[in-house]
Structure 1
Amino acid sequence: MRYIDYRLLLCLTLLSVCFSCGSSRNFSKKRTDVGRVLSESDQRKFDYFFLEADRMKNLGKQDAAFDLLQQAAAIDTSSAVVKYNLANYYLHLKKPQLAYDCLKEAAEKSPDNYWYNVMAANLAQNLGDAEQAISLIRRMIEYNPNKPELNYMLAEVYAQKGDFQQAIDAYNQLEQSMGVVEPIILQKVKLYKALKQDDKAFAEVQRLIDAHPKDITYLILLGDLYLDSNRDEDAWKVYQHAGEIEPDNAYLMVSKANYYNKKGDKEAYQKQILDALLSKNLDVETKQKILTGFLSELLQKKENLDQADSMFSALLEMHPQEEELHKLYADVLWIRQKKNDAIAQMQIAVDLAPVRLEYWQQLIGAILDQKKYDDAIVAGEKALSYLPDEAVLYIYLGSSYMMKKEYDKAVATLRTGLKHTNPENRALISDLYGQIGDTYYQAQQPDSAYAAFDKALEYNPGNIGVLNNYSYYLALQKKDLSKAERMSGDAVKQEPDNPTYLDTYAWVFFQQGNYTLAKIYLKSALDKGGNESAALLEHYGDVLFMTGDVDGALEYWNDALEKGSDSKMLPQKIKDKKYYEE
């Protein structure tokens, strides 16, 4: 999608430039625009509408300009200049097909007009009409033999179409006027690799080496290509040669690390990675990419991440002010369940970059996970001192107050967040009201909670968290169970594999006395990861009891107890072998 957007933007930009720079000049009685011959009366009308459109555009009255252009087009249906300028507006209106239709007509009427044709070709490529794009570009090459960039466009279209040899031929044509140029060579290398013509890919890189004998970048590239093609010994010889020229090149170290990794020499692999990370000739961003790749491979292979400590220690000693490194280390520590150390690294990261919202969110979320609510409040208030208009931070701070049972402060904080929320951000407003609802419910004010939930759903009817919590609270109170069933069902439709939402749906059926459906959905929730939830295990025990399976109920109640359930009635259920409501 990024490629398509770029093409549309390019078309739009160039069309706008051309329209603003010479639209009135392009039309005259002697215009090159090959429209139909008009009567003198129609000609005057056409001139008026077209020139008035240009005037309206320059005044910023785009709607009026568009209407006037359409009236001009109605008078002269074959005018290329009008079609071209109408295409500009259709692109602004996000109607690329209509723009394309206009540009094709303009290009056919004026085959020698460079801009009409280049824009039509770009839009043809963007919309997947490769054959038309190729036809237009080839025609432009005939009219403009001194514009080498047209061969680049042609190669792009052929490559997109999958006709790699034709793309290579176009690049070869381009090279005749430009010589040995790295971007062209690298494109040809990719195409030869796609054609599985590795020797030709190697030969292209060798051309770069010959042209730049003192630059080992291309030697490293050749070695990497050899390694990728399983010509490991050839790769090693090239790396050795590159090392003789520039032994401290960090990129060479990474390539050699990949060689050692492929050979299974972990010690040599890690040494080369560490050497690259400690290199003074490598920027921090590249080091982070190298380290991320190294860590990803360890995770993929399920290897111990402890070895990363020495790497981070050395890196952070060299680059103590790089917040991205502290954040990455925090991620690794969190994965390794070293959560307090992770929080400490995130604290450093936010101190170094206090206006990075995502850092504060990660820090406060981690602190809340550890149930350190006072620390979360301190962090939340500090975050808001830097970012007072970031409404999402009020949710974090409000949640922290709620977890500490300071409900009035929680609600006040969340309502302050509403004042800092863009009225158009309905999803965030809904989340804030949803959190207010949760807070009121925890404060044992269910009516206020339900009013807040209703408000949340006014702003975002599909707010899945609100749909789930609202229906669960109604189920707990055995209130308006048909509404609870509908809302919970909507949540399950959105995420049918979410065990929490399945549990809520099941509990609504349980409270309705429909134990058969409750059992079905609870079993589904257990099968989809809910077997680690003490509450869900207890619920399944409850439904088993209600369906006459007392032994099964006891088994799941005991499992819930072992999982750390905080249910007040669970021990009594187990002792008496009987279901009790909370």
Structure 2
Amino acid sequence: MRKLIVIALVLSLGASVGCFAARSSKKTKGQDDVAADSLANLEASKYLSVGLDFFKKEQYEEAIEYYQKALDEYPNHYNTMVSMAVTYQKMNDINQMIDWYRKLYTVYPDSLKGYLGLGGAFLKYSSMEPVYIDSALIMYQKGLELFPEESDFYYGVAEVYIKQGRVDEADSVFIKGLEKNPENWGLVNAYVNYLMERERYQDALSWQEKLVQAQDEDPFATEKLGDLYLELDRLSDAVDAFRKSVELLEENYTAWIKLGSTLMRQKEYSEAEATFETITDKFEDKLLPHLYLGIVYLNWGREGSAEKKFNYVLSEDSEYADAHYYLGVIYVRKATKAANETTKEAWQRGCANARTATNHLERAKSIDPRNASRVNSQIEHLNKVRDVLKEKLFLVGITDC
């Protein structure tokens, strides 16, 4: 949740757009001035409302056109300035984003969103220009002085400390923020991510359980709960969490995959098979569920079904490294089985299987070098099997293997 602070401002864009206006340096206004001011504010709010409709449709250029019309009617219209900054962020135009947050901060120096937004903009920009990390910290710390109860500022300070390598300080800042507001679920999510990155899974779990209890209709929070259960080897709890996640959002592809693979880890092969078959039906363009279904069959001892699945994957994508690897494993098993038989025909068949295994394994490694370790382990075993086959065939006058 690295973008928590700036993105959080998006959530407020649809809120009442007419209640903020530029402050006048005059202490009093005549009735005519007040009426004109109110009318301009109303017209600006109308244009802003249209712009926000375009924003929701991700038509950002059109949104900006209407924001500009709002500002033509009422310069320094607060919510329009916020909307400008957030929209440029969504367009990944960092310079414009920073410019608009600067304007907001300049015109409204006591604005919470100005401090949060400019701090977030500097934090984002610091990935390209590291010098901005100090500016981000200054904005967050100033924001905390003005708004000590606003827990989002603690997130910002913690993120700065993480980037600076001040990990222990970041942890304490997260805790202070959560002490201020233990129900800031965005901050909780960020802290859980922080803990997971440092493999502090038990600590992360206690916070994630609170988050899911509060947001029990959030499929992604429930999925992350399943991830934590997996890390702690609580497989049954993980299955329950992933199952709940896909019930909440049937199109949550990653949760479906995790559900099936966890069932496979439990050796619940029948349930795993049914789950992956469901996934292949729901996500027809995905090959990974077919691969996993093959692995289920392989672990289940149904090598014929597994081989068909891996061949299907390769028929759709001949460069699918994992399918080559698992086909190689099947042929290693076939060669091993042949070496234990008693006929020269079986031994010759074993040699042929060994050659096929080698081809698939080497292909898996050449396509994806990350397969090297497990491929080399299979090849090492296969070479021993081939030596046995060669010896047996040599004794019956056959030297080709």
Give the alignment's TM-score, normalised by structure 1.
0.39
Residue among 193, 202, 224 paired with 1:309: 202
Equivalent residue for 1:238? 139
Structure with the greater alpha carbon radius of gyration: 1
Equivalent residue for 2:235? 343
Equivalent residue for 1:409? none
Cα distance change of structure 1 residues 530 and 488 upon mapping to structure 2, 3 Å threshold: farther
Distance (whole Å) between structure 1 residues aligned to residue 195 and residue 161 of structure 2: 16
Cα distance change of structure 1 residues 288 and 364 upon mapping to structure 2, 3 Å threshold: farther
Q: Could you tell me how far 1:349 is from its partner in structure 2? A: 3.4
Cα distance change of structure 1 residues 238 and 182 upon mapping to structure 2, 3 Å threshold: same
| Structure 2 letter corresponding to 1:218 | G
1:144-175 CA-to-partner distances (Å, cap 9, x unmatched) read: xxx9589969x99xx999xx9x9988854541
Cα distance change of structure 1 residues 224 and 538 upon mapping to structure 2, 3 Å threshold: same
Equivalent residue for 2:175? 274
Residue among 497, 501, 505 paired with 2:327: 501
Q: Does 1:182 align with 2:25?
A: no
Give the alignment's TM-score, normalised by structure 2.
0.53
Q: Does 1:467 align with 2:359?
A: no
Judge conservation of contact 1:257–1:268 (CA < 8 Å) in 2: yes
Secondary structure at the aligned position of 2:148 is classed as: coil
Judge conservation of contact 2:118–2:139 (CA < 8 Å) in 1: yes
Q: How does 1:75-474 map to 2 (within 5 A)?
A: 172-179=68-75, 180-187=77-84, 190=88, 194=93, 196=95, 200-206=99-105, 209-210=108-109, 213=110, 215-227=111-123, 228-229=125-126, 230-277=131-178, 279-280=180-181, 282-284=183-185, 286-287=186-187, 289-291=189-191, 293-295=193-195, 298=197, 304-306=198-200, 308-314=201-207, 316=209, 320=213, 327-335=223-231, 338-339=232-233, 342-346=234-238, 349=241, 355-356=247-248, 362=258, 365-371=261-267, 373=268, 395-396=274-275, 467-468=308-309
| Structure 1 letter corresponding to 2:274 | I
Q: Out of 325-334 and 354-363, give the one that drifted further.
A: 354-363
| Structure 1 letter corresponding to 2:361 | L
Distance (whole Å) between structure 2 residues aligned to residue 322 and residue 394 of structure 1: 31
Distance (whole Å) between structure 2 residues aligned to residue 320 and residue 278 of structure 1: 18
| Structure 1 letter corresponding to 2:374 | E
Judge conservation of contact 2:222–2:242 (CA < 8 Å) in 1: no
| Structure 1 letter corresponding to 2:308 | L
Which stretches in structure 2 are left out of the alignment for 5+ residues?
1-45, 336-347, 396-401
Judge conservation of contact 1:499–1:525 (CA < 8 Å) in 2: yes
Secondary structure at the aligned position of 1:249 is classed as: coil
| Greater RCO, CA 8 A, separation 6+ | 2
Secondary structure at the aligned position of 2:318 is classed as: helix
Q: Could you tell me how far 1:248 is from its partner in structure 2? A: 2.2
1:273-328 CA-to-partner distances (Å, cap 9, x unmatched) read: 234445546453x24541454256x2xxxxx412x423432553676465565642
Residue among 539, 544, 552 paired with 2:382: 539
Distance (whole Å) between structure 1 residues aligned to residue 115 and residue 98 of structure 2: 15
Identity of aligned residues (%): 12
Distance (whole Å) between structure 1 residues aligned to residue 190 and residue 382 of structure 2: 47
Q: Could you tell me how far 1:252 is from its partner in structure 2? A: 1.0
Count of matched residue pairs: 307
Judge conservation of contact 2:84–2:97 (CA < 8 Å) in 1: no
Distance (whole Å) between structure 2 residues aligned to residue 438 and residue 181 of structure 1: 61
Q: Could you tell me how far 1:255 is from its partner in structure 2? A: 0.8
Cα distance change of structure 1 residues 466 and 395 upon mapping to structure 2, 3 Å threshold: farther
| Structure 2 letter corresponding to 1:538 | H
Q: Could you tell me how far 1:333 is from its partner in structure 2? A: 4.8
